[in-house]
């Protein structure tokens, strides 16, 4: 499977997915930590990919998403954005609304 196909599969199989540095329990960058805190505060399960352990994804995802930095939040197959956008949406209630509208499927998983 190509890296691009792997990325597309991850995005399609996970309703709420964050590509980040580290894990939600142990973020390896301040931006990832802020983003995860906001997402977790919304109260739904979400999947993650540690781009530090998946160098192929770290290299290819910015080309696919046309977004150069991490973290990257994807909801229902749509790129939401990075840390600044996630935190701004959290503060104004838009992130909660977006996450509340997501139906978590049994296929959603932690990567």
Q: What is the pTM assigned to this prediction?
A: 0.92
> Whose CA is closest to 72, among 20, 4, 6, 110?
20
Residue 51: CB atoms within 10 A of its CB come to 22
Question: Which residue positions form the known binding site for [2Fe-2S] cluster?
Answer: 29
Which CATH number characterizes residue 39's domain? 3.40.30.10
Examine residue 109 and state whether it is found in any structural domain, yes or no.
Answer: no
Examine residue 49 and state whether it is found in any structural domain, yes or no.
Answer: yes
For residue 104, pLDDT beyond 70: no
Question: Which residue positions form the known binding site?
Answer: 21, 29, 58, 70, 83-84
For residue 49, the enclosing domain spans 3-100
Q: What percent of the chain has pLDDT over 90?
A: 89
Question: What is the arithmetic mean of pLDDT over 17-25?
Answer: 97
| Axis-axis angle for helices 30-41, 83-91 (nearest 10) | 30
Examine residue 111 and state whether it is found in any structural domain, yes or no.
Answer: no
> What integer pLDDT is reported at residue 110 of this predicted model?
54
Looking at the structure of the chain, the number of domains it has is: 1
Question: Which residue positions form the known binding site for glutathione?
Answer: 21, 58, 70, 83-84
For residue 106, pLDDT beyond 60: no
């Amino acid at each position: 499977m190509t890296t691009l196909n792997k990325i597309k599969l991850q995005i399609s199989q996970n309703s709420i997915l964050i590509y980040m540095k580290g894990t939600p329990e142990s973020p390896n960058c301040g931006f990832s930590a802020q983003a995860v805190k906001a997402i977790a505060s919304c109260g739904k399960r979400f999947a993650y990919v540690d781009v530090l352990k998946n160098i192929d994804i770290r290299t290819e995802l910015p080309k696919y998403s046309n977004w150069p930095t991490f973290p990257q939040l994807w909801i229902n197959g749509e790129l939401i954005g990075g840390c600044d956008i996630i935190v701004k949406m959290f503060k104004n209630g838009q992130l909660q609304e977006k996450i509340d509208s997501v139906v978590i499927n049994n296929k959603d998983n932690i990567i």
